[in-house]
Amino acid sequence: MSCVLGIETSCDETACAIVRDRRKVQSSVVRTQIDLHKKYGGVVPEIAARAHIEWLNDIVAQAMHRAAVEPADITGIGVAHCPGLVGCLLVGVSAAKALAFAWDKPLLGVHHVHAHLYASCLIPPEDITDQPSLPPDYPPWPAVGLVISGGHTALYEVENFTALRRLGSTIDDAVGEAFDKVAAILQLGYPGGPLVETLALRGHADAVKFPLSLLGRESLDFSFSGLKTAVLYHVNGQGGTQRTSADLSPQQRADTAAGFERTVVEVLTIKVRRALEIIRPRSLIVGGGVAANQAVRGALQRVARQAGIPLFLPVQAYCTDNAAMIAGLAAELLAHGQHADLDLGVIATA
């Protein structure tokens, strides 16, 4: 029986979690930094790193207390060491190394983006008694994996959770970043994803048509910069400064949000269908903060149903950055005999 402690500090969430048996979440504590960064309209790396330093010890203590575990119960220490903001990653990795050394536990370096896919396997504490242990073929392999978050948009061929091959990724903005930028254009606030989604519910998706950037007939890469620019010109005029969203009616703003969201959904579903045709997988796995968007979830459910394969999505709590996904994937690595040395480094892009 594994009992892994996970630490996540790759960006602006300070998090720690305890996961047993590779998927049963015993505790998951996440402290968001939204209020620290809101006035800047985005994450300030130096502020984020300092907050991690101030908060992490308390977050770890809370996670262990809620899970009712002691250091002797822990079988491994997992930490996100790539990709992310270097200063932020260093805080979490340094803490994980200290715990691994002090408690004489294996250290496990976890790829943050791969962990987003693993989040689909996690069982929340309230559901643990109703779920069996992790079956050997869960999800059915091979799978196509889609990560859609604030900092990452990528497609993977997944042989298993320790063997992933990237098929395509964004060449500019990540999809979650595009949501944030469109929210700024519409003067909605930060973080933008939930605000754009809420506004889009009041809009007519057919009222405003934005271009699809598909990068060729066979490309599995993504590009959302052009879509963001199209929204900017639609709202502010061709020069980008002729007017602001305040000059639009409430319905026009809602229609803009709905048109943008629909375009994002179309791009994602087209790319996923292309990957499914190439890989012919037995399942589709999706993770990342944008996976919480209901329009996106519904569209991907339809794609999987049409392909005749199951779709694995995280529960809402594990879509955004959290340490449960780090602990879960770390437990998977541990089960496969993988661990890191105490000289584990951090990698900004991977």
Q: Quick one: pLDDT band at residue 278, thresholds 50, 70, 90?
A: very high
Tokens (6 digits) for 210: 């934005």
Q: Is the pLDDT of residue 1 over 60?
A: yes
Q: Quick one: pLDDT band at residue 79, thresholds 50, 70, 90?
A: very high
Burial, 23: exposed, middle or buried (Cβ in 10 Å; 0-12, 13-18, 19+)? buried
Q: Quick one: pLDDT band at residue 239, thresholds 50, 70, 90?
A: confident
- Sheet containing 3-8: which strands, arranged edge to edge? 24-32, 13-20, 3-8, 76-82, 107-111
Segment 91-100 mean pLDDT: 98
Domains, the chain, ranges and CATH? 3-138+317-335 (3.30.420.40), 143-309 (3.30.420.40)
pLDDT value, residue 136: 55
Torsion of CA 115, 81, 94, 124, to 10 degrees: -10
pLDDT value, residue 130: 61
Segment 22-37 mean pLDDT: 95
Burial, 246: exposed, middle or buried (Cβ in 10 Å; 0-12, 13-18, 19+)? exposed
Angle between helices 45-67 and 86-103 (to 10 degrees): 30
- Residue where the block lists tokens 């869960």: 138
Q: Quick one: pLDDT band at residue 132, thresholds 50, 70, 90?
A: low
pLDDT value, residue 129: 72
Q: Is the pLDDT of residue 134 over 60?
A: no
pLDDT value, residue 41: 85
Residue type, 6: G
Q: Is the pLDDT of residue 103 over 60?
A: yes
pLDDT value, residue 127: 83
- For strands 24-32 and 13-20, give the pairing: antiparallel
Whether 86 contacts 10, CB under 8 Å = no
Residue 149 has φ and ψ, to the nearest 5°, of -140, -175
Q: Quick one: pLDDT band at residue 18, thresholds 50, 70, 90?
A: very high
Tokens (6 digits) for 320: 């955004």
Segment 46-70 mean pLDDT: 98
Q: Is the pLDDT of residue 241 over 90?
A: no
pLDDT value, residue 141: 96
CA distance 70 to 195: 40
Segment 263-270 mean pLDDT: 98
Per-chain mean pLDDT for the chain:
95
pLDDT digits (tens, 9 = 90+) for 164-197: 999 999 999 999 999 999 999 999 998 999 999 9
- Residue where the block lists tokens 């903001």: 85
CA distance 62 to 79: 17
CA distance 118 to 141: 13
Segment 83-107 mean pLDDT: 98
Q: Is the pLDDT of residue 58 over 80?
A: yes
Segment 248-259 mean pLDDT: 98
Whether 100 contacts 77, CB under 8 Å = yes
Total number of residues shown for the chain: 350
CA distance 99 to 103: 6
Segment 111-139 mean pLDDT: 83
- Beta-carbon neighbour count of residue 220 at 10 Å? 17
- DSSP 3-state of 230: helix
Q: Quick one: pLDDT band at residue 214, thresholds 50, 70, 90?
A: very high
Residue 16 has φ and ψ, to the nearest 5°, of -145, 145
Between CA 247 and CA 311, with CA 198 as vertex, the angle to 5 degrees is 140
